[in-house]
Amino acid sequence: MNTNLHTHTFRCGHASGTEREYIETAISGGIKVMGFSEHIPFAFPDGSESGYRMKIKDVPDYFETLTKLKNEYKEKIDIKIGFEMEYYPIYFDKMLANAKSWGAEYLILGQHFIGNEHPGGTYSGGDHPSSDQLTEYVDCVVEAIKSGVFTYVAHPDLFDYSADDHVYISQMRRICQASKEHGVPLEINFLGIRGKRNYPKELFWTIAGEVGSPVVYGYDAHSAVDAYDPSSLIYAEKLVKENNLQLIHQPTICVLK
């Protein structure tokens, strides 16, 4: 593994450490391409901002700091600067326009909420008995893949639904088929592995293997020590081998224009 495009910074409010510490850890582990993908800032119509995102006021510092480090370390590592972003139909155009105007080099999709997040959104990682909510989640992810602006889909198996395997399989197959059709990889998320979360979900990756979806690894680092995570790699490689997944070691950056 020499590429990781899923890295956060302290600005999101639930990560720690300096960018330099992340970069040094990545270099020590042999990472050649490193992407910072902070949660994209966004102000909702009432002026409020999410508690788990970087604030809009911090955007200049985010790019200035990382651009300096990108230049400083250019002989050792290729640093990309982007965002992790949701696909909310009513906010998508504005969020995308912001990302472009701020200078993002790439986006990864992280569909953390359904129902547009605010007001009244529901966290995708909660326990969901509702097949309607599963359908809504899948609809958003599929539309995001079709949009052509996302480099890959982070933790596509975040949605926690265990009420009916047949329903889960039929819906998640839609994500896997869209991934294969449009060449947008699906991420095996290392934060889920080391945090023992409900993802990676083995059933999801069985489906991805059957469909032949392209797959990538992502550290989802929220601390400097996790900017190189060989322990989680062991389980990720096991998933790839057991499900005959189509692993891509260095995903193609979808450049924003």
- pLDDT score, position 126: 87
Global pTM value: 0.97
- pLDDT score, position 129: 80
Let me know: does 217 contact 236? Beta carbons within 8 Å.
yes
How large is the angle between the packed helices 202-211 and 165-182, nearest 10 degrees? 50
Give the confidence band of 205 by pLDDT, cuts at 50, 70, 90: very high
Model confidence pLDDT, tens digit, residues 149-178: 999 999 999 999 989 999 999 999 999 999
Q: Tell which wins on pLDDT, 1 or 72.
A: 72
Q: Calculate the alpha carbon distances from 235 to 133, 154, 190, 202, 230 in Å.
A: 29, 17, 9, 11, 10
Q: What are the two backbone dihedrals, phi and then psi, of residue 234, each rounded to the nearest 5 degrees? A: -60, -50
- 209-214: average pLDDT: 98
User: If you compute the radius of gyration of the chain from its CA atoms, what whole number of angstroms results?
Assistant: 17
Give the confidence band of 128 by pLDDT, cuts at 50, 70, 90: confident
Model confidence pLDDT, tens digit, residues 214-248: 999 999 999 999 999 999 999 999 999 999 999 99
Model confidence pLDDT, tens digit, residues 44-103: 999 999 889 999 999 999 999 999 999 999 999 999 999 999 999 999 999 999 999 999
Model confidence pLDDT, tens digit, residues 89-123: 999 999 999 999 999 999 999 999 998 888 778 99
- pLDDT score, position 177: 98
d(CA 82, CA 39): 9
Q: Tell which wins on pLDDT, 255 or 236.
A: 236
**The residue to which tokens 């996302």 are assigned:** 150
